[in-house]
Amino acid sequence: MRGKAYRGLRDSQLVELVAQKDAGALEALYDRYGRAAYSLARRILTEETLAQDVVQEVFLSLWRDARRFDAGRGTVATYLLSMTHHRAVDVVRREENLRRWRTSEEGLELEPDPKARVEDEVEASERRAEVRAALGELPAAQREALLLAYFGGYTQREVAALVGVPLGTVKTRMAAGMRKLKAALQDAGTEELPWTRQ
Amino acid sequence: MDTPMSHSEYEELAAGYVLGALEPDDEHVFQQHLGGCAVCEANVRELEAVVGELAYAVPPVDPPDTLWAGIRREIRPEAARRGALPQAAPGPGGRGPRLMQGLVAAAAILLVVVLSLWNLNLRDENAVYRDRVAALERATQLANDPNASLINLDEQAGPGAAQATVIASSLKDRGVLLVENLPPLQRNRVYELWGVPEGDFGRAEKALVFVPLRPGIQTLEFKVPIQPGTVFAVTDEPGPDGSPKPTTKPLLTGRPATA
């Protein structure tokens, strides 16, 4: 039943099967997004065991209540990765020592990744290049605000304190940064936009 | 909020909202607005997709085998009832087949050994017991390997409360570190585990960088070349990535029994 039988299914179809307690479908989704989710959790949490806990809980959450996924709100990838991000940030805010050195753009090195796997070098690698390029084009202050929030788990008030600017400035920088990021990614993904991908 | 916010102010909050970075009061205000504003609702959906893409900016890291194994263990009862339990087959992290019978048998043996090492009182509170057993389950992933050895690390300095054990497989050049009660680190410092060929620190190789977290045992997997005489040591190094070679005196060291 598993493996090839699931390979041709779309993400949303797999989620339907997961809702019927089809473990093979969950494994197929894990094969597609487990690595991205784990990579994100590792980046935010640093510590391997905590990252594992977060990703495990994300996939178990999907298993327990797949009906919560609403295809009208976005893709399965966005759903899983957003959940991973939220849970990882919750943990990092509890475990202050995980992020105390992340006071700048250390949260994300934008140089090319030398360790990309061969099978990763097709879609995921292109996607990564696009996102990194889009981030690289942002003004430094906007990029810094976004990265501190996203990878450091800092709130806007904390970012303001770290950077030494008023809270309102941070809000404006984040809003402007996200707008530019959205436009840049729309330009990069001409045929398959992230928000239309299923 | 005494003064009503303008719509442009709400729009500005959308970015912080999807990033999970709003202060609680702003989040409350925005959520209330979101329920009745189709424009902001649509904007949030689009920005959520952008945030989802940010995850792909991270360099990929293969998840350890234990991650899917843990998920599978949790879903097993329900999946078995439906008759659709997946096999443990290779996946994104190179998951390989498991010799379940051998694992269970070896796990039982290892469990006894490690439990005695940690002086686990089985009458501990349930939560503590569960945490420790979960940690030990991860350690038993190596139990299929007949070359796995168990090495106690002794504290070289400090108050004497730290305990650490390495379960190392020379066949796979990987292992698990079980550690608890390490002293808190100074700001911007991390602990680093080293594989030290024959105790020669000039040839020490980085195995793992970590920070002490929750109370109780931390279980950490690592990969490093392991030979019969490899000594393991933990040092305090600059964060976040540690050092290429040890720069401080080891807090903990352990030698294999045969070295």
Interval B197-215: pLDDT, tens: 988 999 999 998 888 766 6
Residue A69 has pLDDT above 50, yes or no: yes
CATH for the stretch A1-100: 1.10.1740.10
Domain residue spans in chain A?
A: 1-100, 101-193
Task: Report the sign of the C-alpha dihedral through residues B39, B45, B50, B51, in that order.
Answer: positive
Per-residue pLDDT, A130: 87
CB contacts, 8 Å: B85 with chain A: 23
Q: Which of B61, B75, B240 sits opposite A39 (nearest CB)?
A: B61
* Interface contact flag, A100 B53, Cβ < 8 Å: no
Per-residue confidence at A129, pLDDT binned at 50, 70, 90? confident
**Across residues A98-110, what is the average pLDDT?**
49
* Interatomic CA distance for residues A147 and A140, integer angstroms: 10
Determine the distance in angstroms separating the CA of B107 from the nearest CA of chain A, rounded to an integer: 20
| CATH architecture, range B146-254 | Sandwich (2.60)
The mean pLDDT of chain A is: 81
- Assign a CATH topology to domain B7-57: Arc Repressor Mutant, subunit A (1.10.10)
Contacts of A42 (CB under 8 A, 6+ apart): A48, A51, B58, B61
Residue A192 has pLDDT above 70, yes or no: no
Per-residue confidence at A191, pLDDT binned at 50, 70, 90? very low
Minimum CA–CA partner of B70 in chain A: A56
CB contacts, 8 Å: B72 with chain A: 23, 27
* Interface contact flag, B15 A56, Cβ < 8 Å: no
Q: Which of A101, A127, A178 sits opposite B47 (nearest CB)?
A: A178
Among A38, A171, A159, CA closest to B15: A171
**3-state DSSP call for residue B123?**
coil
* B37 at A interface, C-beta within 8 A: no
Share of chain A above pLDDT 90, in %: 48
Domain residue spans in chain B?
A: 7-57, 146-254
Per-residue pLDDT, B247: 92
Residue A116 has pLDDT above 50, yes or no: no
Q: Which of A30, A47, A154 sits opposite B71 (nearest CB)?
A: A30
* Interface contact flag, B188 A101, Cβ < 8 Å: yes
Output the tens digit of pLDDT for each of chain B's 259 residues: 456 788 888 889 999 999 999 999 999 999 999 888 999 998 998 898 898 889 888 888 899 989 999 999 888 877 776 655 454 444 444 443 333 444 444 554 455 444 444 443 433 344 444 445 555 555 665 655 666 788 888 887 666 678 888 888 887 788 888 888 888 887 778 889 999 998 899 999 999 888 876 666 677 788 888 888 899 999 999 877 788 999 999 999 998 775 4
Domain A101-193 is found in CATH 1.10.10.10: yes
Task: Give A188 or A65, the one with higher predicted confidence.
Answer: A65
Extract long-range pairs of B152-159: CB within 8 Å, 24+ residues apart: B152/B117, B152/B254, B153/B179, B153/B232, B153/B233, B153/B234, B153/B252, B153/B253, B153/B254, B154/B252, B154/B253, B154/B254, B155/B251, B155/B252, B156/B249, B156/B250, B156/B251, B156/B252, B156/B253, B157/B249, B157/B251, B158/B183, B158/B251, B159/B183
